[in-house]
Amino acid sequence: MLDGLWIASAAPAVEAALAGLPAGAVAVIANPRLARALTARGRAVTEVAAEAALAPSTFAAVVAVGAGDRDDWAPTLATWATAVVDGGGLVLVDRAAAVELSRRALCAGLTALEQRVAGRWTVTSGVVSRL
């Protein structure tokens, strides 16, 4: 319950994950604290509700918290990846096991996976590639 209070501590790791991606708007799914932290770092951030419909190829990156806890993770990650431009990134911030987050990112079709640790958070990022 109190996990969300310290989510801003993951912002430097998220920023590092976003550094090599195309410039453009970043969607932060259902996490206003992280959105504010990234905005304070100079990112153009759009806050998006958890169940909001996302238009295809709209964002340079999507940042989401809690994908490791979701039972519907496969369709959710697919939806988030669809909202990212080709070559953009999907960044998952979670406290789940790093191995599980990597598996889910690979199942979602992400390439060039990277993981960073920020306190108790694991930041898993990958590039969305449409073949």
Specify the CATH number for the domain of residue 81. 3.40.50.150
Cα-to-chain-centroid distance, residue 27: 8
Report d(CA 27, CA 21) in Å as an integer.
13
> What is the tally of structural domains in the chain?
1
**pLDDT of 61-85, one tens digit each?**
999 998 888 899 999 999 999 999 9
Q: Which three-class secondary structure state does DSSP give residue 110?
A: strand
**pLDDT of 89-126, one tens digit each?**
999 999 999 999 999 999 999 999 999 999 899 999 99
pLDDT at 8: 80
Q: Give percent of the chain above pLDDT 70.
A: 96
Cα–Cα distances in Å, from 1 out to 4, 7, 94? 7, 12, 14
DSSP 53: -
Give me the domain span that covers residue 18: 2-128
| 78 token code pair | 């697919």
| 103 token code pair | 């598996």
